[in-house]
Structure 1
């Protein structure tokens, strides 16, 4: 049983599932991968369900205890209802992370931390103590990602050396290493709808991509691009399918450089490659796909 339907819980659960274990995911919310584009989240759930993973959404865990053989969990509907017992050999608790700042002597040197253990910094990543900088997972209200921390580290080194540098947090990719793989960058369709931002959408399925068909990786995957309705500037990119984590880099660059969907559509992509799906999705933004 995996408690928590976020990225890490699903990644570990999908590994166990492929190794032959029966995996049940218990999630308090009514969907998995909160914060991910809703369409991708639904497709990922369908794909994992087809692989044998079971989902108990809108469900909270009220108790866990060791049994003679394994573990027993008491669960009930998040909105209230009758409790029931789930039995498992192993339980993975995957409901969030906390910063590793305990025992580092930060208080002794005067570094300020908030009540959760995160370290506030200024625009140069400097703490309240001159000469002490902080990056990575110990910063509040930022994604806990290794590649994001690396970018912050480079910026700090540049600033210490007297140069300039910045991290564009709107262009930090996120990848869920399940199978199928999921990768996203920028705003989701849900974000744009909530903000009332007019947008155009281009979607292209891997089922129509030559490389994916040749390798048999066509089931349910697609590339989705979201562009501003007035300017055509790329606002978000979302991929579910083979090698999505590698494919997203092109779209991170496009987002960083302020590219339009037309810029991507007019860029020659080698054939046969998975990345052709990116070009086709860009063409689809204005209804001009070649191979859909």
Structure 2
């Protein structure tokens, strides 16, 4: 038995960041993680490996379609998927080993195994019980499926199985047009698969700014992806290593079937709390299986906190990280804080899609007067030189005060560009503040400035 100030259950982005911050603040800290490597879903079977695959497939696309245009001549590359998976694994290993190093550097104990809160102030891992003044639940989420859809991670896969396919499928059917489905679908589309996305709603990327969503779908269609919208999947049948996806069109109740070599189920994720003993401890849960917390991430059980995907809010690694730091500071007697109005979202396709703050649809529903500043990447010299002119930057600002309320970007490096607006929003900046800030030329970021200028007297290059 070991006694700690804090035990964090879960070594994903929320958990390991929380553990490191706790240790930095002088708390004796342990992190319980049952995987063979730290980093959780994000580093092992999610964010990081998928970005490695996206990067590799995008470079392949560049070589196939744009190298000759730039005078780079030579034999076109071929796809060696097993070698690509080796590259992906090397990226995973480098990152997870880095967290192990950070744990040692900050004197965080890694308790290997699956943890259970066996009593107030006690965490049991295997045969050992450890005590702690504070316990943080950071166990993340797992892929959600559908009725009559049995996942085997071979023919019917989640994102985990999609990152381990032994060969590029001829036909890939993706169920769900959210972030995971579109990212992985775009990977295999670039590698040569015929990709069809089946979505229950009548649009892709639920919750996204509608104009961006429509533009995004149009670009993906141009890249070869097919979309069946307003379709409810009824079941998936497997036979001889292939699958048939049965769906019903909502507009006319007609039935249809799609043949597939692989089916990717990308219908979202759900909190993972199995084996934690929360019911016996009396921890309150929501109807959606989330751990209920107050504004300071405290559960109804004294000394027990929860962060990340197991609680309410967007299931994003960076949201969990912010909560991890805030909880650590709260436990250490400081004033931990997360601004939930300024949490960016990114889809790492090509082009990337990024957003922060309000959408036009939300502002209209609120009845708030706003103005729009928009600038196309076709007007950006750097983007045109890089064959990356698709998309635009849209900034939404309060009509009277000019304060930035939201930003939506589809285009090159959108996931990096969005943070300029995140910082601006944290400081309560006006669109004019962004517009009057000198931006280096030629950069993609000039498109952000131009969109800010468009909120006032007008963009220069539009």
User: Which TM-score tier does this pair reach, normalised by the shorter chain?
Assistant: over 0.9
Whether 1:73 and 2:245 are equivalent positions in the alignment is: yes
Across the aligned residues of Structure 1 and Structure 2, the Cα RMSD in angstroms comes to 1.1
Q: Deviations over 1:13-48 (max 9, x none)?
A: 111111110000001111000100001100110010
Whether 1:130 and 2:299 are equivalent positions in the alignment is: no
Q: Give the secondary structure class of the aligned counterpart of 1:124.
A: coil
The structure that has the greater radius of gyration is 2
Q: Which residue of 1 aligns with 2:258?
A: 86
Structure 2 contact 345–354 (Cα < 8 Å) conserved: yes
Deviation at 1:232, TM superposition (A): 0.5
Q: Which runs of 5+ in 2 are unaligned?
A: 1-172
Q: Which residue of 2 aligns with 1:59?
A: 231
Q: Give the secondary structure class of the aligned counterpart of 1:61.
A: strand
Deviation at 1:162, TM superposition (A): 0.9
Q: Give the secondary structure class of the aligned counterpart of 2:251.
A: coil
Separation (CA, whole Å) in 1 of partners of 2:267 and 2:290:
18
Q: Which of these residues, 48, 53, 78, is aligned with residue 220 of structure 2?
A: 48
Q: Which of these residues, 359, 364, 383, is aligned with residue 193 of structure 1?
A: 364
Q: Which residue of 1 aligns with 2:374?
A: 203
Q: Which residue of 2 aligns with 1:276?
A: 446
Separation (CA, whole Å) in 2 of partners of 1:81 and 1:118:
34
Whether 1:247 and 2:412 are equivalent positions in the alignment is: no
Greater share of residues in strand: 2
Q: Which residue of 1 aligns with 2:285?
A: 113
Q: Deviations over 1:229-273 (max 9, x none)?
A: 011000110000111001111101111111100010011111111
Q: Which runs of 5+ in 1 are unaligned?
A: none
TM-score by length of 1: 0.96
Whether 1:32 and 2:198 are equivalent positions in the alignment is: no
Q: Which residue of 2 aligns with 1:178?
A: 349
Structure 2 contact 328–336 (Cα < 8 Å) conserved: no
Structure 1 contact 200–227 (Cα < 8 Å) conserved: yes
> Mean Cα displacement is larger for which, 70-79 or 174-183?
70-79
TM-score by length of 2: 0.62
Deviation at 1:69, TM superposition (A): 4.6
Q: Deviations over 1:50-84 (max 9, x none)?
A: 01100000111112101235101111212342211
Aligned residue pair count: 290
Whether 1:290 and 2:424 are equivalent positions in the alignment is: no
> Mean Cα displacement is larger for which, 195-204 or 35-44?
195-204
Q: Give the secondary structure class of the aligned counterpart of 1:202.
A: strand
Q: Which of these residues, 319, 335, 347, is aligned with residue 164 of structure 1?
A: 335
